[in-house]
Amino acid sequence: MAAEAVAKLRFVRMAPRKTRVFVDLIRGRGVPDALATLKFTPRAAARVVEKVLMSAVANAQQGGKDLGDAESLRVSRAFVDNGPTIKRFQPRAQGRAFSIHKRMSHITVAVTPIEVKLKKAASRATTKSKPPVKTNTPVAKKRAKAPIAEKRAKENQ
């Protein structure tokens, strides 16, 4: 496994589905691009994800890893897991009670040097082969007949 620096923030009092939007935005991007995206996004979840990303970058530069500065890093993995749910009740009319679920998130962001991604992509390109073209499907047969139909139409004119 390639060298990577990870930062986790657990028990964030924010619903996972609201946080996943911003984690999906930064996954696979370079760190400067991801930070700029999060900085100019006017949502509370973006601030939290930005702090986790900055922590991952700091972990990459410290702790004996020294993977490089922020410009030479990219977000390799980023995901949000469900945390525990706090359950509360809201009193309603006629003695009823509606339940309120206050959800929590566990946010994880990992950064790696950009060169690692290029090596993996190059190795994948050499091992992957193209799938065989299917010729017995109705669409393929229709495409094969199309030049003949055009030729006959020209002859009839």
Q: How far apart are CA 117 and CA 19, in angstroms?
A: 25
Cross-strand partners of 85: 103
Other CB atoms within 10 A of residue 155 CB = 7
Domain edges within the chain: 5-129
Domain 5-129: CATH superfamily, name plus number: Ribosomal protein L22/L17 (3.90.470.10)
- pLDDT tens series, the chain, 157 aa: 568 899 999 999 999 999 999 999 999 999 999 999 999 999 999 999 999 999 999 999 886 677 778 888 999 999 999 999 999 999 999 999 999 999 999 999 999 998 755 555 666 666 666 666 666 777 666 666 666 667 677 777 6
What values do phi and psi take at 16, rounded to 5?
Answer: -60, -35
Q: How far apart are CA 115 and CA 122, in angstroms?
A: 11
